[in-house]
Amino acid sequence: MSTNDDRVPLDHIRNFSIVAHIDHGKSTLADRLIQACGGLAEREMSAQVLDNMDIERERGITIKAQTVRLHYKANNGETYVLNLIDTPGHVDFAYEVSRSLSACEGSLLVVDASQGVEAQTLANVYQAIDNDHELVTVLNKIDLPAAEPERVKEQIEDVIGIDASDAVMISAKTGLGIPDVLEAIVKRLPPPKTEKGAEAPLKALLVDSWYDTYLGVMVLVRVIDGVLKKGQTIRMMGTDAKYPVDRVGVLTPKMLVVDELGPGEIGVITASIKEVADTRVGDTITEDKRPTEKMLPGFKPAQPVVFCGLFPVDANDFEDLRAAVGKLRLNDASFSFEMESSAALGFGFRCGFLGLLHLEIIQERLEREFDLDLIATAPSVVYELTMTDGSEIELHNPADMPEVVKIAEIREPWIKASILTPDEHLGSILKLCQDRRGIQTDLTYVGNRAMLSYDLPLNEVVFDFYDRLKSISKGYASFDYHLADYRAGNLVKMSILVNGEPVDALSMLVHRTAAEKRGRDMCEKLKELIPKHMFKIPIQAAIGGTVIARETISALRKDVTAKCYGGDATRKRKLLEKQKAGKKRMRQFGKVEIPQEAFIAALKMSDE
């Protein structure tokens, strides 16, 4: 767009996102919309165009929110600009969803016509409603034999409380009903609002930032007031960093350079920024010479919930790991890390994640994209400690826990979880939540599915709650949670001692009632995993000075009496005594080598 006359009028712009539960067809619908509007030529199209990370394609999930600008000629002959943001459905990436929604005015709510409303559908819809979004309901997969559109419409009205009588029926896979979706976007979603128009000082919301190897830091912005153009000097109001704008563009999904972005438009800018840390998501961008008066409300920074240590298997790879986590941090602002060292594992990093899936994805990206072999220690959460002298500290790593006598109270994070499950699995799910110290707050029915609300301690969920939930419900239960508060608990630090030496990477905070069982499981597991040595090895789980569980690995022994034929029995006894003394000395000085596989397997301990 070169002149101001070419600028898209506000009432011809629609900014919208697609919200849905995992696997309900968001990315496929995005593909169809891009195709219908000619965003990419046929040969450039591929399935899930916007999921451009290998991991996203393999796992079939969206991790990063992606944006695309489309031109659509409506039935009334007018051409509209549609800015679509495809959002992740997974609970660990909820912060991606919240910031995508704040850049839009409306949402397409996609619901699978055979499966109906799921836990994440609810979570994402409530986020959209909090952002004052206009919602258009879309029922996907109506071509499936199991589809029951009428039942699902009723369910949407009962559970979410929005009118679904005019829901658009589509099949994103076959392309059925896609024109109706485009018409609904134009007719039923509102155009963007500007506070003061194009003549006002620049005010834009920083929606996202990522690192591009060729262009440096790319910043996704939504312009509220004023005009953003090349050559302007902009200032980030939160970090107070100033930069000249190198280029302004829109994603169609390819980057297309334009002259300027006006009010209501979404686009990307590059401004020779070296550090993604300077571009805080949710910040307000304004012109340096003519700043806007008031900042936009912004978003809360993503708070890491789960921590774990990442160590290279080969200590020589430490520098490579340092470079790799630095690069990943550029693309993922919610991932945090600091250096730590462990007696058993050497140097590594203590990393913070938004949840277990996030942890898995980061670990997999480090191993894949940077070719590293890693060991992750047991995931732990952040505890708040009140000391006897009245001071407060946060504990990220169980190995750093202060002496028990100095601690007045330990508080652990609790979450509010909502679980949707078919009726037949209800009993076993209730038992699972009970075993994990859960407190039931609500149980309602939606058709033949139960909706459970539970308060659960996060450190019980972090281990393998999600996997257990999926396996006992045969994959049908869906789970969504948010952090509620910190509550005092009877927590103790359990240390694992191998041959009398504590192994710091295996220490963990557990509830006193579960400590003995956890300790016994851990000792039994290590007994199988640590190879025999020439001397006996005791494996103990201890709380403070009290051993609560013990296993012993028997010694390998050489038959020292093999060469004795006949003669006096004392000759044999003498040799055996000598061997015994040697083993005793060996045990004092002997080092027990714990193989890396043993660490990994011990940390994956499940609580069947």
DSSP 230-264: TT-EEEETTT--EEE--EEEEESSSEEEESEE-TT
Distance CA 50, CA 56 (A): 10
Name the residue among 117, 145, 131, 158 with its Cα closest to residue 21.
117
Is residue 28 a known part of a binding site?
Answer: yes
Distance CA 594, CA 581 (A): 24
Is residue 52 a known part of a binding site?
Answer: no
Is residue 140 a known part of a binding site?
Answer: yes
Distance CA 414, CA 11 (A): 45
Distance CA 246, CA 478 (A): 45
Helices (H), 401-546: 426-435, 458-472, 512-529
SS3 142: coil
Name the residue among 244, 134, 151 with its Cα closest to residue 186.
134
Name the phi and psi angles at 17, rounded to 5. -125, 165
Residue 242's DSSP bridge partners are 235
Yes or no: say if 73 and 5 are a contact pair by the CB < 8 Å rule: no
Is residue 27 a known part of a binding site?
Answer: yes
> CA-CA distances (angstroms) from residue 296 to 106, 195, 271, 334, 474?
19, 12, 21, 21, 45
Helices (H), 13-118: 26-36, 54-59, 94-101
Helices (H), 148-190: 149-159, 178-188
Is residue 141 a known part of a binding site?
Answer: yes
SS3 59: helix
Distance CA 121, CA 119 (A): 5
Name the residue among 585, 58, 1 with its Cα closest to residue 265.
1
Is residue 142 a known part of a binding site?
Answer: yes
Place of tokens 């090895």: 537
450 C-beta neighbours (distance < 10 Å), count: 20
Is residue 533 a known part of a binding site?
Answer: no
Is residue 25 a known part of a binding site?
Answer: yes
Is residue 342 a known part of a binding site?
Answer: no
Binding residues are: 23-28, 140-143
Binding residues for GTP are: 23-28, 140-143
